[in-house]
Structure 1
Amino acid sequence: MNTHNDNDNSTILIVPGLRDHVPEHWQTLLAARLLKVRSVPPLEDNKLSLDARVEAIQRELEQIDGPVILVAHSAGVLMVAHWAARYSRPIKGALLATPPDLDATWPANYPTPEALREHGWSPLPRQPLPFPSLVAASANDHLASLDAVRRLAEDWEGTLVELGEVGHLNPAAGYGDWPDADEFIRMLDR
């Protein structure tokens, strides 16, 4: 089922997190049902390199004519903030789902804040984003408190959307499909 019709003119650019493309992830399922969509491809080498991630976003955007809506999850949200601090391409809007807190202590199966700092992730740009954004936050995300995400939304001048207790909004938290993403994209694509 395609949720966007042929009259929609924005291309959706999917910006996954550090795990890149996961088959059962809501971003992958979303991309499969959209008409005008591209995804930032996975990195083969140096997967923690922020510069490589930001350049991958830019390369994809250079392939798109017309308006774009960014749909980022987890570390992909941080990549978008860094991209926006470096580049000035117009973006119609961004859905920024469950950004992690670089100052939090994460579970052992995630990179450490020190490792991310060494690869350029901090400091995180916190100036207002030059496009409208919906910052979706979970009340029980193990990578960021609701208050931390609220502060990011305020700094970026985005609209905070509290999702309730959805964990990190990934397959491990029970999300496969996330139909709300379609509605949030429609809100940004007006």
Structure 2
Amino acid sequence: MRASQADILIVPGYQGSGPDHWQSRWERRLSTARRVEQAEWSKPVRDDWTKAVADEVNASTRPVVLVAHSLGVATAILAVPMFRRHVAGAFLVAPPDVANPDIRPKHLMTFGPYPTDPLPFPSIVIASRDDPYSSYEKTEETAAGWGSLLVDAGNSGHLNRESGHGPWPEGLLTFGKFVSRLSPDPMPEWTVRS
């Protein structure tokens, strides 16, 4: 599949993704990308955030590819049961350990723990070995539960602007390869009935 054949939904995390964040840059660069907007970026409410993602997926007219970062990953994963449209795949970057009692701010724990069932679409998880919001081992375990391909990003922090991942060309190349392997047509077992 080509990126132009999909609705690419950018799902930012806590406090959104500023103009220099790789998600914002990709949104400007990819013609079919749009951001899932949240009413309150600094006060995430699980039900509101997951509904916003589900609403965008369900309003899509083409196969959806999710591009989520940090708390956006948790939001997208928790929204899956509400999807009524074909999601071709998910590109999941730096999922935080939302079940960790040491996570800050504490209200991020309301997004955890993650479901551990396999996702009903292909997915890739990009994880850093020194992400301050999750251990690599925890992310590895989570990705395995989802049936996701895990990509080791080495010591790359939280894979955001602050860790030097503003443009993140390696991420865009990985995303392009991932999308090229997706099917625009739903597999029979992935079809969701209304």
TM-score by length of 2: 0.84
Structure 1 residues 134 and 163, CA gap change in structure 2 (3 angstroms): same
RMSD across aligned positions (CA): 2.0
Map 1:80-119 onto structure 2 (within 5 A): 80-104=76-100, 105-106=102-103, 110-112=104-106, 115-117=107-109
Alpha-carbon separation, structure 2, partners of 1:147 and 1:44: 31
Cα-to-partner distance string for 1:119-169 (whole Å, 9 max, x where unaligned): x41232111111100100001000001101000110000000001111001
Q: Tell me, which stretches of 5 or more residues in structure 2 are unaligned?
A: 181-194
Would you say 1:182 and 2:182 are equivalent positions?
no
Paired residue for 2:36, among 31, 35, 40?
40
Mapped to 2, the partners of 1:171 and 1:188 lie a distance apart of 22
| Cα distance between partner residues in 2 of 1:86 and 1:63 | 12
| 1: CA distance, partners of 2:111 / 2:41 | 17
Scaled by the length of structure 1, what TM-score is found?
A: 0.86
Task: Tell me how far 1:90 sits from its aligned partner.
Answer: 1.9
Contact 2:98 2:112 in 1 (8 A): yes
Classify 1:85/1:125 alpha carbon distance in 2 versus 1 (closer, same or farther; 3 Å). farther
User: Would you say how many aligned residue pairs link Structure 1 and Structure 2?
Assistant: 179
Asked if the contact 2:10–2:68 (Cα under 8 Å) also holds between the matched residues in 1, the reply is yes
Aligned to 2:56: 60
CA distance in structure 2 between the partners assigned to 1:35 and 1:144 by the alignment: 32
Letter in 1 for 2:114: L
Structure 1: runs of 5 or more not aligned: none
Give 1:126's aligned amino acid: T
1:10 positional shift: 1.2
Give the superposition deviation at 1:27. 0.3
**Distance of aligned partners of 1:122 and 1:103 in 2 relative to their CA distance in 1, 3 Å threshold:** closer
SS at match of 1:127: coil
Q: Aligned partner of 1:116: which letter? A: L
CA shift, 1:88, in A, is: 4.4
Percentage identity across aligned positions? 35
